[in-house]
Amino acid sequence: GQQVMQIPQYQHVQEGEDFTTYCNSSTTLSNIQWYKQRPGGHPVFLIQLVKSGEVKKQKRLTFQFGEAKKNSSLHITATQTTDVGTYFCAGPGSGGSYIPTFGRGTSLIVHP
Amino acid sequence: DGGITQSPKYLFRKEGQNVTLSCEQNLNHDAMYWYRQDPGQGLRLIYYSQIVNDFQKGDIAEGYSVSREKKESFPLTVTSAQKNPTAFYLCASKPRGDHLYNEQFFGPGTRLTVL
């Protein structure tokens, strides 16, 4: 099926530093979603991006969808310990199906 | 409160035994999904169902079985044929299987350990 590649796998930051995770696809995506999973918890939906070049913000989180709709990023400004967790991107499955295909996730570790 | 429930939270089984994981939702969602999560592997799709009495294999269906007799329920059976069943299992649902808006709602998960 269609794959979305996510990097990095892990990221250690000092509290207050910025953090970015990237999601890439070899094919055009009709949409992309981002989820956050806290340690020991379950994934929680953050946002969906649909339009080429779209940028959305949620407080310190900024989500971008590339102009070619093949890549996306999540940027966190001035990380806090509450940001700890694994961030997943998810794209539609192969053939434009609506079965989400998840990236492997980026685990964010914030050191106080 | 509306949501997805999975039970139990932790489950221990002996090797060679079948085990059934429960997933119930009262969100009136048509589509339901089962994922397996291993460290560093992300979420891998086991089975999904877009409507009652219909389900499809995902990427790693071997050794698993499901049923969808009711809209609210999508139980997953981990059979003895699954070679490495110890993992975190997540159930999810969303309003429509074929809708562009793809937000999935996840249950709290069941951590299965096979001894």
pLDDT in tens, B18-54: 999 999 999 999 999 999 999 877 899 999 998 899 9
Residue B97 reports pLDDT greater than 70: no
Residue A17: pLDDT band with limits 50, 70, 90:
very high
**Which tokens sit at A58?**
């949620």
d(CA B6, CA A41): 13
DSSP state for residue A52 in the 8-state scheme: T
Residue A95 reports pLDDT greater than 60: no
Read off the pLDDT of residues A41-88 as tens digits, 9 standing for 90 and up.
Answer: 999 999 999 999 999 999 999 999 999 999 999 999 999 999 999 999
**A99 and B58: CB-CB below 8 Å?**
yes
Residue B66: pLDDT band with limits 50, 70, 90:
very high
CA-nearest residue to B39 within chain A is A104
Return the top range by mean pLDDT from B5-9, B27-31, B73-77, B92-96: B73-77
Strands B4-7 and B54-57 turn out to be unpaired
User: How many helical (H) and strand (E) elements, i.e. helices and strands, does chain B have?
Assistant: 0, 11
Cα atoms found within 13 Å of the Cα of residue B34, Cβ hemisphere only: 32
The chain-wide mean pLDDT, for chain B, equals 91
Residues of A in Cβ contact (< 8 Å) with B103: 33, 45, 48
Q: To the nearest whole percent, how much of chain A has pLDDT over 90?
A: 82
Residues of B in Cβ contact (< 8 Å) with A23: none
Residue A9 reports pLDDT greater than 80: yes
Does residue B10 belong to the interface with chain A, where contact is any CB pair within 8 Å?
no
Residues of A in Cβ contact (< 8 Å) with B33: 99
d(CA A22, CA A6): 6
Partners of B65 in the β-ladder: B77
Strands A43-49 and A101-102 turn out to be unpaired
Is residue B58 classed exposed, middle or buried when 0-12, 13-18 and 19+ CB atoms within 10 A define those classes? buried
Residue A68: per-residue pLDDT? 96
Residue B95: per-residue pLDDT? 84
What strand order describes the sheet that includes B76-78? B4-7, B19-25, B76-78, B64-66
Q: Are B109 and A42 in contact (CB under 8 A)?
A: yes
Is residue B54 classed exposed, middle or buried when 0-12, 13-18 and 19+ CB atoms within 10 A define those classes? exposed
Residue A32: per-residue pLDDT? 93
Q: Among residues 32-71 of chain A, which lie with CB inside 8 Å of chain B?
A: 33, 35, 41-45, 48, 50
**Which tokens sit at A37?**
């999973």
Region A9-19: mean pLDDT is: 97
CA-based end-to-end distance of chain B: 35
Does residue B95 belong to the interface with chain A, where contact is any CB pair within 8 Å?
no
Residue A71: per-residue pLDDT? 97
Residue B98: per-residue pLDDT? 62
CB atoms < 10 A from the CB of B111, how many? 15
DSSP state for residue B14 in the 8-state scheme: -
Residue A99: per-residue pLDDT? 79
Of the listed ranges A94-98, B83-87, B96-100, the one predicted with least confidence: A94-98
Better-predicted residue by pLDDT, A106 or B95: A106
Residue B83 reports pLDDT greater than 70: yes
Residue A97: per-residue pLDDT? 58
Backbone angles phi, psi at A81, to 5 degrees: -65, -25
